[in-house]
Every structure is written in C-alpha cells, then in structure tokens.
Amino acid sequence: MNTMNTHREVAVQFTNVCRYFGDVKAVDQISLEVYDGEFFSLLGPSGSGKTTCLRLIAGFEMPTAGSIRLYGTEVSTIPPYDRDVNTVFQDYALFPHMDVGDNIAYGLMIRKVPKKEREVRVNEMLELVRLPGMARRKPSQLSGGQRQRVALARALINHPRVLLLDEPLGALDLKLRQEMQIELKSIQEKVGITFIFVTHDQEEALTMSDRVAVFNRGKIEQVGAPAEIYERPATSFVAGFVGTSNILSGDLAQRLTGSPDLFSIRPEKIRMTPEGSGASPDPDTCAAVGTIRDVIYLGVSTRYLVEVDGGGDLTVVQQNLDAAPGDVVGARGSRVALTWPRSTNRRLSGQGGTP
C-alpha cells in the first residue's frame, strides 16, 4: 500500500476529537486521517482510548468535542445504522441458533435482499474467508478461528466502506492468531475496504498494518508505517511500547552519545564482543565497555543486560548464530565491549522513562 500518495481519499477524519467520561479523558484532542483502502491499526496499552475511538467512528459514542468525518461527511450526529461502517467484535457475537449461512446473510435479510441473491453472496463470502460448504453448520460446530471468519464474512457482506475490528484475534491461541493475521491482511487486500484494527499487541500491529497510530492516555504519540514507528520512534513511550529499547538521558546519554538529550537505541543494533577485541573507535560509532549482569536465553536470540562502566545499563540482543545455550548462559560476569552505529541513536521528544 502506497501511503506516500497525497491525493488519496480520506476515509475517516478526526479533528480535535475529545470523549470524556466525567474526569476520565478517554480520547483527548485527537486529530487523525485514515485513507481509503488502508489497513490502519490503533495500537496502545489497555485504557489508552483505542476502543473509544472505534466506537466514535461506529457511532456508539458521541464526541464531547471535535469533528468526525466519514468520506467527507460530518457524522457526529448520524446514528450508527446510517453510517456506512461495520464492526467485528472480539467475541464474534454470532447468533448461536442460526446456521453459518443465515448468520452471514443477516444484514441482507434485514435489507430484504431476495433469497436467491442472498445465497449467491453468502457463497462468495464463504469462498473469501475460506469456509466453502460450511453454510449449514451451527456456530457451535466451528473452531474459534472459523467462527472469527464467519464474523468477518457477516461484517463484509454489505460491502461497508469502513470495517472496524476490535481485537478480533484476541481470543485465539498464538499460532492460529498468527495465521489469521496473514489471512485477514490478504482478505483486506482482496476486498480493498478500509480496515481500522484495534490491538494492544505491537507485533500484530507491525505485521498487518499499512500505518499504525500509537495511543497513550487518550492521545496519539505517533502515526506512521510500521518500519517508521519501529526504526524512528518519536517519543520515549513509543520506543518502549513498540519493541524493546534502551532509553538514555542525562549523564549516561552524555557519556555514550556525547549529548545529554533523550535517546533510544534498539538492543539488536548493538554489537557485543569480548573486551579488548573491538576495532578502534571512529566518529561514526558509539562505544561502551561493561560487565554482563544478566542473560535471558530466547531460542533464536539471547538478551543480555550489560552494566556499563561508570554506571547505567544497556540491554543487548544477539542472535544465537553458533552459540550453544550453555555458552550463552555462562556469559554472566564476562567483560564486554559494545559498539553501535551513531546513526541508530534516535533522539526522542518528551520526558525520560518507559511506559
């Protein structure tokens, strides 16, 4: 998906949107544009305002202030059923007494679409979500992943312009969840509908999205493509929430980077070698020397906590290319040299501290 194209139609536009519940600022002055045909994720910890944003788009909530537009039309006062939007919920919300076909056709029945056409469209949807021939099963006869696909088919059958998905994979186990992530993305590409996807799982957001908005306490900290969010986090919150980061400030930042500003360094960008074996320093490289205090073996990689001489810690992740688990764990207490390209230091805005 080309997100650089400035001529793309705006599907959803928030301008200074607030939603307060008493003293709680669930959504606090959010401005945001989601483009037509995008897979856009709202990512953030529990309580950061993602679901409230989704409910504002659906029309289940009214903004306390600000403007919400869907394809250019102000919708703040338009009820949910008059918005060209559908929602897939985490608990699927299928009707247990209806079979799969009737569940999927429900929206068409409400609109009094003739039976013949309903059947054709249900079969198209079953093909799309890879459940052909399952129309006469009951939801109780399906696996979790299959039920999720039925919920998706039911939400897509009316061809909404925007599909809202609230943690739809949250109830699935990890392996199925990863399979469904790939499938959901491929379905979205096939139908070309704008998907707005809520998740608290950063890996999920990075895998599936064209762009991601990172939420914190009712505000958006950064909007960008997955690689941009990961490689160039704008704030200490983003650096800490999306992946793991070393966040440096003050004295430690001064010693390691030459500036006391707030910086993040990704642990996998740091190269670790035995002390004394490293190349001589050059202006494009940052360097430190320290002692390994902790080792966490993660299978494909190992995470080391290194106490830097002069004070402060750095987390370093190294791939286990040749190392045996015994060597890795036995590294505790070893003296090491750390180097990383100066260009990987990311200057952050905001105060120090991780989420």
Q: Which is nearer to ligand ATP, 49 or 233 (CB)?
A: 49
State the first-to-last Cα distance of the chain, in angstroms, to the nearest integer. Answer: 30
Q: Which is nearer to ligand ATP, 49 or 290 (CB)?
A: 49
Q: How far is the CB of 66 from ligand ATP (least distance, A)?
A: 15
Q: Are 38 and 3 in contact (CB under 8 A)?
A: yes
Q: Are 205 and 199 in contact (CB under 8 A)?
A: yes
Binding ligand ATP by CB under 6 A: which of 13, 40, 41, 44? Answer: 44
Q: Are 180 and 170 in contact (CB under 8 A)?
A: no
CA–CA separation, 213 and 198 (whole Å):
10
CA–CA separation, 180 and 200 (whole Å):
16
Q: Are 342 and 330 in contact (CB under 8 A)?
A: no
Q: Which is nearer to ligand ATP, 48 or 188 (CB)?
A: 48
Binding ligand ATP by CB under 6 A: which of 21, 95, 274, 347? Answer: 21
Q: How far is the CB of 49 from ligand ATP (least distance, A)?
A: 4
Q: Which is nearer to ligand ATP, 160 or 218 (CB)?
A: 218
Nearest C-alpha neighbor of 103 from the set 136, 60, 80, 128: 136
Tell me 232's DSSP state: S
Q: How far is the CB of 233 from ligand ATP (least distance, A)?
A: 19
Q: How far is the CB of 241 from ligand ATP (least distance, A)?
A: 12
Binding ligand ATP by CB under 6 A: which of 10, 15, 33, 47? Answer: 47
SS3 294: strand
The answer to whether residue 46 forms part of the interface with ligand ATP (CB under 6 A) is yes
Region from 20-28, 127-135, 264-272, 345-353 binding ligand ATP, contact rule CB under 6 A:
20-28
Binding ligand ATP by CB under 6 A: which of 13, 52, 194, 216? Answer: 52
The answer to whether residue 297 forms part of the interface with ligand ATP (CB under 6 A) is no
SS3 67: strand
The answer to whether residue 200 forms part of the interface with ligand ATP (CB under 6 A) is yes
Q: Are 315 and 293 in contact (CB under 8 A)?
A: no
Q: Are 26 and 218 in contact (CB under 8 A)?
A: yes
State the number of binding residues for ligand ATP (CB under 6 A): 12
Amino acid at 318: Q
Q: Which is nearer to ligand ATP, 1 or 18 (CB)?
A: 18
Binding site for ligand ATP (CB under 6 A): 21, 24, 26, 44, 46-52, 200
